[in-house]
């Protein structure tokens, strides 16, 4: 028998997937409201017993779900959903043996039955069989394109290093769900960084995926200021996006580019009072003009810096060169305080705390005259 924590994991996985069946509620609404019909997937338009069994599962009423599932099986024994609903109801009450028998029967009818696959996925996780769990999850994700469910199930396997490794082995075969894994823009920071760590590992068994596949995740990590994580993926799968050096795109050559070279570099912060223009020529430069009465953020980029003091210098032209200032913060840019040091002369000192989401920002203070930034340099104060 599965231990209590394992059984809980199984139950949670099954119930989470069963919530999809609530979509069948639209089936009843579509009978009276034609506009709802377009929301009902064809495979959800089933008989009343199956529909109501699914609804009962979603509401946690396992006794009713079991009764209705039994009725559905009697009416249509060759439809695996009846057995799957019966198994889900049994699992919800902790009747593991009954659940196993029902799901085994559902799988004998059809290997594609998603609830059965999810149950076996949970069972494998409970046993610590991560390769088996990855195999079951692969089958579920190949047959299901619901992004929310995909992310939930992926997150269950990703909770351990062994699970992440097993998942990476499947990812190397470029399954159809790879986009859901790589483009997890809605995932929280911990999940996103864990995936990045797997992709960056030389020992993960994943072949080079290329820029097209990995750029969405690289950009999302950079947007959240996780430079080291983004760079790790770039190094293994998209060398064109790897910045090299403490600063990415120090000379603004890739500024505004949509290709890999600009994925981790400077990002423009738009405001109606500040105009930022990339000037054409043999060397790229940024021209900044501000009509604001307050200090405004111009551009920023994520940086991965060890704790310590650094000096930022820039080649700046134009009558407003002294108005340029820099900040180094964690998580998000913060407006600079009074600074006497000048970036365009001796340089401005910045203190790094070693946080994983550090962001370097350039600001322009109020005043007349344009500011033209030619090149930026960042070095440790005492290398």
* Each residue's pLDDT tens digit, 283-296: 889 999 998 999 99
Q: Which of 156-165, 309-318, 346-355 has the lowest mean pLDDT?
A: 156-165
Best-predicted range by mean pLDDT (161-170, 220-229, 335-344): 220-229
pTM tops 0.85 = no
Q: Could you say which of 182, 197, 228 is where a domain stops?
A: 182
Q: What is the pLDDT of residues 236-271, one digit of tens each?
A: 999 999 887 899 999 999 998 888 888 999 999 877
Q: What is the pLDDT of residue 228?
A: 96
Q: What is the pLDDT of residue 146?
A: 63
Tell me the pLDDT of the chain averaged across its residues: 83
Whether 383 contacts 310, CB under 8 Å:
no
**159 and 292 both lie in a single domain:** no
293-322 mean pLDDT: 93
Cβ-Cβ contacts under 8 Å for 376 (sequence gap 6 or more)? 247, 250, 312, 313, 314, 362
**40 and 168 both lie in a single domain:** yes
Report the CATH number at residue 322.
2.60.120.260
pLDDT, greater one: 74 or 359? 359
Structural domain includes residue 51: yes
Q: Could you say which of 139, 167, 182 is where a domain stops?
A: 182
User: Closest by alpha carbon to 341, among 358, 329, 327, 360?
Assistant: 327
Q: What is the pLDDT of residue 47?
A: 65
- How many Å apart are CA 261 and CA 238, to the nearest integer? 10
**175 and 290 both lie in a single domain:** no
Cβ-Cβ contacts under 8 Å for 108 (sequence gap 6 or more)? none
- Residues above pLDDT 90, as percent of the chain: 41
312-329 mean pLDDT: 92
Q: Could you say which of 128, 161, 182 is where a domain stops?
A: 182
User: Closest by alpha carbon to 138, among 95, 167, 100, 161?
Assistant: 167
């Amino acid at each position: 028998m599965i231990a209590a924590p394992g059984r809980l994991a199984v139950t949670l996985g099954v119930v989470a997937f069963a919530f999809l069946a609530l979509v069948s509620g639209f089936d009843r609404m579509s009978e009276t409201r034609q506009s709802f019909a377009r929301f009902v997937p064809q495979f959800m338009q089933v008989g009343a017993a199956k529909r109501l069994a699914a609804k009962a599962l979603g509401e946690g009423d396992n006794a009713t779900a079991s009764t209705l599932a039994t009725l559905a099986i009697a009416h249509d024994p060759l439809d695996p959903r009846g057995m799957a609903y019966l198994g889900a109801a049994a699992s919800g009450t902790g009747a593991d043996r009954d659940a196993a028998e029902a799901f085994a029967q559902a799988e004998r009818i059809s290997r594609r039955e998603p609830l059965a696959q999810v149950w076996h996925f949970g069972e494998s996780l409970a046993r610590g069989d991560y390769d088996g769990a990855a195999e079951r999850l692969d089958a579920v994700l190949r047959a299901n394109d619901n992004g929310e469910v995909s992310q939930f199930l992926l997150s269950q396997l990703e909770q351990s290093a062994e699970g992440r490794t097993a998942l990476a082995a499947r990812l190397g075969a470029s399954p159809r769900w790879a986009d859901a894994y790589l483009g997890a823009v809605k995932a929280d920071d911990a999940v996103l960084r864990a995936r990045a760590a797997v992709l960056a590992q030389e020992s993960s068994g994943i072949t080079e995926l290329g820029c097209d596949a990995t750029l969405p995740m690289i950009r999302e990590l950079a947007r959240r200021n996780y430079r080291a994580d983004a760079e790790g993926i770039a190094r293994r799968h998209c060398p064109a996006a790897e910045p090299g050096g403490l600063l990415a795109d120090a000379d603004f050559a890739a500024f505004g580019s949509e290709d890999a070279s600009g994925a981790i570099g400077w990002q423009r912060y738009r405001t109606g009072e500040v105009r930022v223009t990339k000037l054409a020529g043999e060397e790229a430069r940024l021209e900044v003009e501000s009509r604001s009465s307050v200090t405004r953020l111009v551009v920023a980029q994520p940086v991965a810096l060890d704790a310590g003091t650094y000096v930022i210098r820039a080649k700046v032209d134009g009558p407003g060169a002294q108005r340029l200032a820099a900040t180094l913060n964690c998580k998000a840019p913060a407006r600079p305080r009074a600074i006497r040091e000048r970036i365009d002369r001796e340089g401005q000192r910045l203190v790094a705390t070693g946080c994983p989401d550090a962001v370097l920002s350039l600001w322009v203070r109020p005043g007349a005259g344009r500011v033209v930034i030619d090149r930026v340099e960042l070095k440790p104060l005492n290398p």
